Chain A
Amino acid sequence: ETGVTQSPTHLIKTRGQQVTLRCSSQSGHNTVSWYQQALGQGPQFIFQYYREEENGRGNFPPRFSGLQFPNYSSELNVNALELDDSALYLCASSSDRGADTQYFGPGTRLTVL
């Protein structure tokens, strides 16, 4: 069974740029949730994708957007990057629209200069 994978591992961008982060869900899972983890904090829920549609959103602005593909992999896009977007971005996959246990990937460390 393949676990959750994310790419890239690290990324450095400058303020105002756009970034795309990728997540491959665990085999058999149809739901991907994205979280932002600032340094020294617990993860904060960004949004969830289920069967290619956004299925719930946390308190993040519209410049945070996403996609889910037919194979249930997902992308997180952030436009107009701000310094405060520097964080570890985690994706978690699960079945049953998140009602089941969520399993996390290793994360992408984004640094905005």
Chain B
Amino acid sequence: AQTVTQSQPEMSVQEAETVTLSCTYDTSESDYYLFWYKQPPSRQMILVIRQEAYKQQNATENRFSVNFQKAAKSFSLKISDSQLGDAAMYFCAYRSPGGAGANSKLTFGKGITLSVRP
């Protein structure tokens, strides 16, 4: 079974600075998908970024980018130019490749609470 570990329960960043959130995972599969989701106090889980394991290039979405290290099974999220609206819980998630049904389930880490200081 796959597992996702987020070992930092909380992090804080100054507005306009850069912060990196860590995530490691364990799997025996060679192809898979990784996601970062953001959950603000409104509770809605919002997709931040997605990475396909077969792609060597790190995904980027505006101020958000990932550092995907497949051999190390590490998938960190970098937030540049942090804004007050970035304050939320961030979850790292894993999904099996080409999966359907239960194989398409997302396996989440425990999350990290990010606070942004003005």
Q: Which residues of A contact B (CB under 8 A)?
A: 31, 33, 35, 40-45, 47-48, 50, 55-58, 88, 90, 92, 94, 96-99, 101-107, 109
A-B contact pairs, 16 of them (CB 8 A): A31-B104, A41-B110, A41-B111, A42-B108, A42-B110, A43-B106, A45-B105, A45-B107, A56-B101, A56-B102, A56-B104, A58-B105, A92-B45, A97-B101, A98-B99, A104-B37
Known: A42-B110, A42-B111, A43-B106. A107 touches B43 (CB 8 A): yes
Residue of chain A at shortest CB distance from B37: A104
Tally of B interface residues using CB under 8 Å: 26
Selected from B35, B45, B105, B111, the residue in CB contact (under 8 A) with A56 is: B105
B84 at the interface (CB under 8 A from A): no
Main secondary structure, interface of A, reads strand
3 smallest beta-carbon distances between A and B, as pairs: A56-B102, A98-B104, A42-B108
Residue of chain A at shortest CB distance from B47: A101
Known: A42-B108, A42-B109, A42-B110. A48 touches B43 (CB 8 A): no
Q: Is the CB of A106 within 8 A of B44?
A: yes
Q: How many angstroms from the CA of A88 to the CA of B3 in the assembled complex?
A: 21
Q: Is the CB of A56 within 8 A of B103?
A: yes
Q: How many angstroms from the CA of A8 to the CA of B6 in the assembled complex?
A: 31
When distances are taken between beta carbons in the complex, the residues of chain B under 8 Å from A90 are 45
Selected from A40, A47, A99, A106, the residue in CB contact (under 8 A) with B110 is: A40
Q: Is the CB of A104 within 8 A of B45?
A: yes
